Structure 1
Amino acid sequence: MSVIIRLTRIRLSLMVSISAMTGYFLTGSSPTWSLMLMFGGVFFLAAGTSVLNQVQECRRDALMKRTAKRPIPAGEISRPVASLISILLIAGGTVMLSLNGWIPMALGLSNIVFYNLIYTPLKSRSWLAIIPGALVGAVPPLIGWTSAGFYIFHPNAQFVSIFVFLWQIPHFWLLMIKYGKEYESAGFSSISKMLNEHQIKLVVFYWGVITSLFLMLFPFFGFSFKPLLLGFLIGINFLFVSLFHRYLFRDRSSKTIRKAFILINTYAMVIFLFLVINAFLS
């Protein structure tokens, strides 16, 4: 069982499902059977694409200390068996999303294209692979939104999707600061070939600031917040930027990048919760 848990990267798959659930609840919809189908479908698809990614990259994973203990390079499961698990998960997730309509299903399948057919092969060729990689994260909120029966191009849905896209970029680059040399030795393209660690930290920080400032464009996407909630949004953004700067530039401990990584993930979860609460209070 532990092999399956590690192979499917349960925590990552759950976070993707929570992102989709944010899109669903942002519509103000109450929990129904469609929510369960959406959550399960997104989870299975995320898990299936994660397994497929490890099948695709198992040889490179074996070259990196960070990934050498993953089930396939560690010899705990064979590539054919892992491939079968991936197919079953993707098929199950696709069927579940199809029960909510063809648009959620098509969005789910598009993520396989972005992640496994574009992002994964491109990682060894260009550091710009982070762009299709970030698009993968922008899709789940749209799956949730459309699973509730709402129009895919609604400004509220686009707002959350853009936020997740912007948030993904520093998320990737933080990994490059910590594991850039490993990635390069395994044959992956890394931004660390172009910029030194301090320069990457500057890019990461200012991109984080841009992500935070983007949230203040909410009126242009049809959102309105009560004064108390607006004050909370401003406060949480200020706190995030302050802590992010501290962890990247002032904290000298060996765990500074890990702290920044946890912070940016926590920030996204808080924003998701904030938007859902606002939807039900509006």
Structure 2
Amino acid sequence: MTDTWRDYWELTKPRIAFLVLVTAAFGFFLGGQGIHAPLLFCCLLVGTGLTTCGSSVLNHYLERDVDGLMKRTRNRPLPAGRVKPSTALSMGFVLVLSGVFFLLFTAGLLTAFLALLSAFLYVVVYTPMKRQNWLNTSLGAVPGALPPVGGWTAATGAIDPGAVVLFLILFAWQHPHFYAIAWIFRDDYRRGGFKMLPVVEPDGNSTCWQVMGYLVLLLIFSVLPSFMGLTGPFYLVGALVLGALFLASGLALSFSRSVASARRLLKASVLYLPLLLMLSVVDAGF
């Protein structure tokens, strides 16, 4: 891969795109009680991937100036001058619109609308709000929790209670995950002018309360699939164990208020979600 293409690839935030595709696939699998329409499944992934990558490119475009102020982002393609802003802007719009229209003609109007809504909330609402209010984390968790709903609607054509539960799980999970990141890089966020909670309240009290509150909610939300018949008892036990371990990581941060504890919480969040998803696939109730 040449340096130029590597820069374009970086603009799409491939790791975030991969997570989005995994959760969308998960929603399709649970909603359709298996993957019985492989072509539709592939179309979902293509359209969702295009829209997600385009949203990430537009996020890079809007934050190119502040990215240049922070150590961990100053070498990104736009602040480093390796990609022209106009090129990134065009690329982002083309990807988003291509993904939305592809979903419209393959996965249906509802799934396409959810993808467009997610892109709009992420780019137009969440991105500028990061410099205005610490509630940006909760607002940003909404588009982050929509992909499994889009997968569900692609398989079923409707937003059922199961899709709502998947949304709630992803919504709650993102809070400890991103609060941990904000804690670790709060000096960088301060330089960039981002109003992350650990920045606006340095003592960490509110951050820890938020982390613990959402971890408790996540534990509750995560067991609901078993009570709805989507998963079995093996998943239920596993979800409780994973939730308890995740909660312990949050407690450690609450007591120590250290960067090391925040890193452990971040690692716990990265392990928790794929393990929970794997449990649900292995012990699907159908």
Q: Decide: shared fold, TM above 0.5.
A: yes
Q: CA deviation at 1:138?
A: 1.4
- Whether 1:78 and 2:84 are equivalent positions in the alignment is yes
Q: Paired residue for 1:213?
A: 220
- Whole-Å separation in 1 of the counterparts to 2:11 and 2:181: 20
Inter-partner Cα distance in structure 1 for 2:162 and 2:54: 28
Correspondent of 1:164 among 149, 162, 170: 170
Residue 255 (structure 2) pairs with residue 242 (structure 1):
no
Q: Percent identity?
A: 27
Residue in structure 2 matched with residue 264 of structure 1 by the alignment: 269
1:258 shift after superposition: 2.7
> Is residue 11 from structure 1 mapped to residue 18 from structure 2 by the alignment?
no
The one of 140, 146, 155 equivalent to 2:161 is 155
Asked if 1 retains the 8 angstrom alpha-carbon contact of 2:226 and 2:232, the reply is no
Pair 1:118 & 2:125 matched:
yes
Count of residues paired in the alignment: 278
Query: Letter of the aligned partner of 2:154 in structure 1?
Result: S
**One-letter amino acid of the structure 2 residue matched with residue 137 of structure 1:** G
**1:208, 1:115 → 2: CA distance?**
23
Q: What letter matches 2:109 in structure 1? A: W
Cα contact 1:29–1:148 (8 A) shared by 2: no
TM-score computed with the length of structure 2 as normaliser: 0.88
Q: Residues 184 and 4 of structure 1: is their aligned pair in 2 closer, same or farther, counting only changes over 3 Å?
A: same
The farther-off stretch of 205-214 and 141-150 is 205-214
Match of 1:129 in 2: 136
Q: Which runs of 5+ in 2 are unaligned?
A: none
CA distance in structure 1 between the partners assigned to 2:65 and 2:183 by the alignment? 22
Spell out, residue by residue over 1:11-63, the C-alpha distance to the aligned partner (whole angstroms, 9 max, x if none).
11110111111100012132511110111111111111000011011001101
| Distance change >3 Å, CA 39–CA 63, structure 1 → 2 | same
Match of 2:98?
92
Question: Aligned residue for 1:22?
Answer: 26
Tell me the amino acid that sits aligned with residue 120 of structure 2.
Answer: V
Which residue in the other structure is 2:44 paired with?
38
Letter in 2 for 1:19: T
| Distance (Å, rounded) in 2 between the aligned partners of 1:225 and 1:23 | 13
